[in-house]
Structure 1
Amino acid sequence: MTIFAVLEPPDGKPDRVDFVPEGFSWGALLFTVVWALWHRMWMVAALLFALTSVLTVATSLEVLGPNFAALLHLGIAVIFAFEARNLEVKSLERAGFRRAGLIEAGSCEGAELAYFADRASVPPQPAPSRVQAVQDDTLGIFGKV
């Protein structure tokens, strides 16, 4: 079973609700920059690209040995793979999404079914009444005397 973070969009449209699984991401390990771009994490992708570029230039200038540079590339990819899902949630929150909760399910489809089934079972809340208290005095400085 996997735990999914549920993020609701700022406009409240149910078709844009995002389910982000917690934990390690194999896609982020194998395709670091492409994975970040796919998930619209522009600054993270730029940072990963810059780190990769610096390591490549350092290797070509023989500042770093090729084995050590490969080890650093792998280390960056592993760290990113462990933190990718958290970074994705933070990126969605900066875009205006809000956390609606956590759901434990076997797959993303199961999480969607559980979330929308629970949402359908909750009766809609009545709109709050807009009754305003009438003040006795014109200036409103004496209150109810």
Structure 2
Amino acid sequence: MPVYTIHAPRAAGPEPLVAPDRFRFVRDGFHFWAFATSLIWLIWHRLWWATLGYIVLSVVGGIALAMLGAGSGTRLVVMFLFALLMGFEASSIRRWTLSRGKWRQLDLVVAEDEETAERRFFERWTTRREFMGDTNGVERGGPPPTRNIPGQSFSRPPAREEIIGLFPQPGASR
């Protein structure tokens, strides 16, 4: 099943998140259209720096192959491998462009299609925000239980009978 990453633009004002209709869902995995029509796919998704890099690499690669005296079969194989790389790395290029554009990754969702991913993300996101009484941020959980702080339930070590494993006593030698 595909994995989707959810990205939101960073707001400039006191509100940490902008309207949810601006969230972007990026599917991880192979993108056929990025493989078949790399340059058009890059332009369609407004990946300008990646488009420039693609053009430069294509021209430099073509010149290098011509200078090496590579035959047409070798050129075809190299172009096919470059297109295959674009198909596999298309989602990484989109995530990289979003991170450069001051977007932040909010979450990760596993779903069959983008519509299901949106539904799962927004159900989880709204539930989490309502539960915490926070309408501005996304709860990431408490700190890990590393020390015993009075009044903090998350930091109490587990009782002896709750520990499972080869070392039943916390901190015991091996």
- CA deviation map 1:24-48 (0-9, x unaligned): 1111100111111122211211121
Give the 5 Å matches for 1:1-145: 1-11=1-11, 12-56=18-62, 63-121=69-127, 122-123=129-130, 124-125=133-134
Sort the Cα spacing of 1:57 and 1:7 in 2 relative to 1 into closer, same or farther, 3 A.
Answer: same
Percent identity between the two aligned chains: 25
Q: 1:4·1:104 contact (CA, 8 Å) conserved in 2?
A: yes
State how far apart, in whole Å, the 2-side matches of 1:108 and 1:37 are.
21
Q: TM-score, normalised by structure 1?
A: 0.77
Aligned residues between the structures: 127
Q: 1:7·1:97 contact (CA, 8 Å) conserved in 2?
A: yes
- CA deviation map 1:99-142 (0-9, x unaligned): 11100111000011111122222314278xxxxxxxxxxxxxxx
Q: 1:55·1:69 contact (CA, 8 Å) conserved in 2?
A: no
State how far apart, in whole Å, the 1-side matches of 2:135 and 2:58 are.
54
Bigger relative contact order (CA 8 A; separation at least 6): 1
Residue identity opposite 1:99 in structure 2: Q
| Worse-matched range after superposition: 52-61 or 65-74 | 52-61
Sort the Cα spacing of 1:118 and 1:56 in 2 relative to 1 into closer, same or farther, 3 A.
Answer: same
State how far apart, in whole Å, the 2-side matches of 1:10 and 1:3 are.
23
| Worse-matched range after superposition: 55-64 or 20-29 | 55-64
Q: 1:6·1:20 contact (CA, 8 Å) conserved in 2?
A: yes
Q: CA deviation at 1:56?
A: 4.7
Please, which runs of 5 or more residues in structure 1 have no aligned partner? 128-145
| Worse-matched range after superposition: 55-64 or 92-101 | 55-64
Please, which runs of 5 or more residues in structure 2 have no aligned partner? 12-17, 137-174
